[in-house]
Amino acid sequence: MKRFRNTDNPFYPVIAFIVFIIVWEIVTKANNIKEYILPSPSAILNEFIKSSDLLLYHSLTTLTEAVIGFVLGIILAVLLSVIMSSLKVFRNIFYPFMVLSQTVPIIAIAPLITIWFGIGIVSKLIICVLVVFFPVALNLTEGLNSHDKDLEELLKCMNASKLQIFTKLKLPTALVYFFSGLKIAAAYTVMGAVMSEWTGAESGLGIFLTRSMKSFKTAAMFADIVLISAFSLLLFVIISIIEKRVIKWNLKG
């Protein structure tokens, strides 16, 4: 019983989720709510089973776009962040444009990108890269410039090279910021892929969601949403696990 008295017990969210599902099932059944309005959890589960092949097909497309876009976005963000942290003039020029680019919603520019690059994977990757790039670049840039300046001066007095200062001082300090940006990007990259599919695609969870909506297949829409959330959560968890292995010195206890 002591395990459940602890307010930080990890079982609490699981228990709360199970209770929520049970209440949802009871309410929809007891009130005879139509499935096209609000499907019960059992109806959603049945939809998963019935449309498993179709959901798998569309999931592979969206995951491919999200993962490739995620990796490309990280590479671009790291390169630009390193340059901006090394060259102050470069940072003064491009940093305001980075911030300005985030004032325009992705959903607003996605149609333009689709018009310019077509409905193929290129336009999807561009949108995913844009979603990933900003949080990673912003956090990493701040991290690379948040190191101890006195320690940097000490290393310079010891004739440390710029590469040594970067690898021994700046990079370890910036890792915490970097992974914070990665976790934010991980939470949105799958949604970025889905949004890109709304503007035109041949397959993907975004297309499946649109087709289900037009057919009033609400259970299928919920199944699609569950998959999108699950993939986003999975990517977030993977990044968190990597963070704990890489930044061992940042762990408490």
The pLDDT of residue 79: 92
Q: Which residues contact 197 (CB under 8 A, 6 or more apart)?
A: 61, 62, 65, 124, 204, 205, 206, 207, 210
Q: Is residue 9 part of a domain?
A: no
Q: Which residues contact 180 (CB under 8 A, 6 or more apart)?
A: 139
Total structural domains within the chain: 1
Where residue 223 sits, what CATH number does that domain have? 1.10.3720.10
Domain that holds residue 117: 52-250
CA–CA dist 121, 162 (Å, integer): 39
Q: Is the pLDDT of residue 161 over 90?
A: no
Range scoring the smallest mean pLDDT among 4-13, 111-120, 178-187, 222-231: 4-13
How confident is the model over 52-88, as pLDDT tens digits? 899 999 999 999 999 999 999 999 999 988 888 777 7
Q: Is residue 158 part of a domain?
A: yes
Q: Is residue 138 part of a domain?
A: yes
Q: Is residue 37 part of a domain?
A: no
CA–CA dist 184, 102 (Å, integer): 14
